[in-house]
Amino acid sequence: MSTAFTSPVRNGGAVDGTHRAMPQRGARARPEAVLVAVAVGALAVLGLWWAGTPSVSGLDGWLTNAGRITGLLAGYAFAVLLALMARVPALERGVGSDRLARWHSMGGRYVVGLAVAHTLLIIWGYAVTDGADVVSETVTLNLTYPDVLKATVALLLLVGVGIVSARAVRRRLRYETWFHLHFYTYLVAWLAFGHQLANGSEFLTFPAARTAWYVLYVAVAVLVVWYRFLMPVRQAFRHRLRVAGVVQEAPGVVSVHISGRRLDRLGAEPGQFFRWRFLTRDLWWSPNPYSLSAAPRPGELRITVKDLGDQSRALARLRPGTRVVAEGPYGAFTAGRLKGRKVLLIAGGVGVTPVRALFESVPAAPGDLTLLYRARTTGDLVFRAELEAISTARGAALHYCVGPRSEIGDPFTPETLTERVPGLREHEVYVCGPESMTRSVVSALRAAGVPKRRIHHESFEF
């Protein structure tokens, strides 16, 4: 329905035409390269089993070797999962936090499945070898084999984390609860590591393999400790972040202005986010992800938060001077993905926060930048005055789509997008909003002929 969008500002305002891409900070890992590296590692693990297994015969041999393979892959994949979520800047900038999270979620299901399969196959194979029943063999393995009892506890914890990560369960949990339960995965790694080396025939046969396994897990541990724990502390002392002020932007939406020292050295880019920890009695214990809602400025960062729960609601009561610890910057929803000349930004609800920062800063000539902003009511339009000022200054097109879906229909059909945005197929498109809206928009863009490589989106839902 093309009439769903309105255009409050005319194109052609005065601009200086000098909006340039921000300097790209640091290395960026390519997603394809990361996947290839992970696959090569998995093949090396299978090669380790192959080299240590001259032959397989009998039911017990097939069961036991299947257990060995699944165990090796589970141990390797678990280390990979920890590395993917260690918040390594090259991965965060190149792959993107949402894609890393999807890989982590999918890989987590494989790890749980492999670990359970390994346990059942080994018990069954050993039981056939010993002529015992599986219950007796389970008791024997846990009480007589080195570190197996700890590995059993690790398996139970891993399955528990897997259950709370299931979408149906996760939606019922507060972000803070889900976040802290995931710290048990580090305990899982510690409990399970010993039994791999003490009982795995590959590591007992090949000392080099044992050394490589140590190197793998120690390297991952260093990444986790440095980037998830030590780096935020280092940044806190280096930049001395504090709340400078809190401004209400719309009903239930506030912007938090944060001041600090040498903020340019953070290397933050418009479209990225930090995990923020506000050092008050109620908020210090839980970092939450919020996007920058304005391009970083010397001495100041800004985030904008919608009231979606206790933690976000409490930000409206922050006092100037409150100390802040920030982890980041994270995410690849930046101008670094820009390949073409024309840019289309699509925002829904509070998803306008990173989009507003891009609207201000993404390099585009007058007439080549368009923003489509979807909101339920006029009062829900956040940054309206700012967006209109940016539109006028940059000669950019700004269109609002306001109203309940029951009245206006689907505002993001292929026909509507093609009519509203001339030359749609040649645009680089950035989409941010509720998950359902993002899926709908991406589907409509693809149907309208926009190549997949030109569509960029990140989800900030946990």
Tokens representing 260 are 């600090």
The DSSP result for 409-436, as a single string, is --S--HHHHHHHSTTGGGEEEEEES-HH
Same domain flag for 221 and 250: no
Same domain flag for 51 and 149: yes
Q: What is the mean pLDDT of residues 394-423?
A: 89
**Residue that the structure tokens 């390994």 belong to:** 118
Beta-bridge partners for 247: 255
Residue 408: exposure state from Cβ atoms within 10 A (0-12, 13-18, ≥19): middle
pTM for this one?
Answer: 0.81
Indicate the pairing of strand 242-250 with strand 253-259: antiparallel
Tell me 227's DSSP state.
I
Same domain flag for 230 and 251: no
Collapse the DSSP code of 374 into the 3-class scheme (helix H, G, I; strand E, B; otherwise coil) and give the result. strand
Q: Provide the sign of the torsion angle of the four alpha carbons 450, 377, 2, 359, taken in this order.
A: negative
Strands lying side by side in the sheet with 5-6:
5-6, 397-402, 369-375, 342-348, 427-432, 455-457
Same domain flag for 196 and 252: no
Q: How many Å apart are CA 400 and CA 5, to the nearest integer?
A: 5
Q: How many Å apart are CA 114 and CA 285, to the nearest integer?
A: 33
Q: How many Å apart are CA 447 and CA 454, to the nearest integer?
A: 13
pLDDT confidence of residue 32:
92
pLDDT confidence of residue 133:
94
Residue 462 lies in a domain: no
Residue 386 lies in a domain: yes
Q: How many Å apart are CA 388 and CA 398, to the nearest integer?
A: 7
Collapse the DSSP code of 302 into the 3-class scheme (helix H, G, I; strand E, B; otherwise coil) and give the result. strand
Strand ranges inside 166-286, DSSP E: 242-250, 253-259, 273-278
Q: Are 330 and 275 in contact (CB under 8 A)?
A: yes
Containing structural domain, residue 372: 2-22+334-457
Tell whether the model's pLDDT for residue 167 goes beyond 80.
no
Tell me 292's DSSP state.
B
Residues 6+ apart with CB under 8 A from 411: 1, 4, 5, 374, 401
Same domain flag for 204 and 315: no
Same domain flag for 187 and 294: no
Q: How many CB atoms lie within 10 A of CB 30?
A: 11
Residue 142: exposure state from Cβ atoms within 10 A (0-12, 13-18, ≥19): middle
pLDDT confidence of residue 27:
75
pLDDT confidence of residue 405:
79
- Which of 235, 250, 274 is the last residue before a domain boundary? 235
Residue 434: CATH number of its domain: 3.40.50.80
Residue 248: CATH number of its domain: 2.40.30.10
Same domain flag for 162 and 304: no
Same domain flag for 285 and 256: yes
Residues 6+ apart with CB under 8 A from 144: none
Same domain flag for 254 and 291: yes
pLDDT confidence of residue 179:
76
The C-alpha angle with vertex 97 and arms to 344 and 221, in degrees rounded to 5, equals 160
Query: Which tens digits make up the pLDDT trace of 296-343?
Result: 998 999 999 988 766 778 898 999 999 999 998 988 888 888 888 899
- Which of 218, 235, 252 is the last residue before a domain boundary? 235
Where residue 198 falls (left for φ over 0; alpha for ψ -120 to 50; beta otherwise) is alpha
Query: Which tens digits make up the pLDDT trace of 39-96?
Result: 999 999 999 999 989 889 999 999 999 999 999 999 999 999 999 989 898 898 888 8
Query: Which tens digits make up the pLDDT trace of 265-297?
Result: 998 999 999 999 999 988 888 888 899 999 999
pLDDT confidence of residue 25:
56
Strand ranges inside 332-448, DSSP E: 342-348, 369-375, 397-402, 427-432
Residue 366 lies in a domain: yes
Q: How many Å apart are CA 34 and CA 92, to the nearest integer?
A: 12
Query: Which tens digits make up the pLDDT trace of 5-40?
Result: 777 744 444 333 334 344 445 678 889 999 999 999
Chain mean pLDDT for the chain: 88
- Which of 299, 330, 361 is the last residue before a domain boundary? 330
pLDDT confidence of residue 288:
87
Q: How many Å apart are CA 64 and CA 141, to the nearest integer?
A: 13
Residue 416 lies in a domain: yes
Same domain flag for 208 and 339: no
Tell whether the model's pLDDT for residue 409 goes beyond 80.
no
Q: How many Å apart are CA 354 and CA 332, to the nearest integer?
A: 11
Query: Which tens digits make up the pLDDT trace of 217-234?
Result: 999 999 999 999 999 899
Residue 16 lies in a domain: yes
Tokens representing 152 are 């059993």
Same domain flag for 199 and 57: yes
Residue 111 lies in a domain: yes
pLDDT confidence of residue 111:
95
Q: How many domains does the chain have?
A: 3
Same domain flag for 346 and 309: no
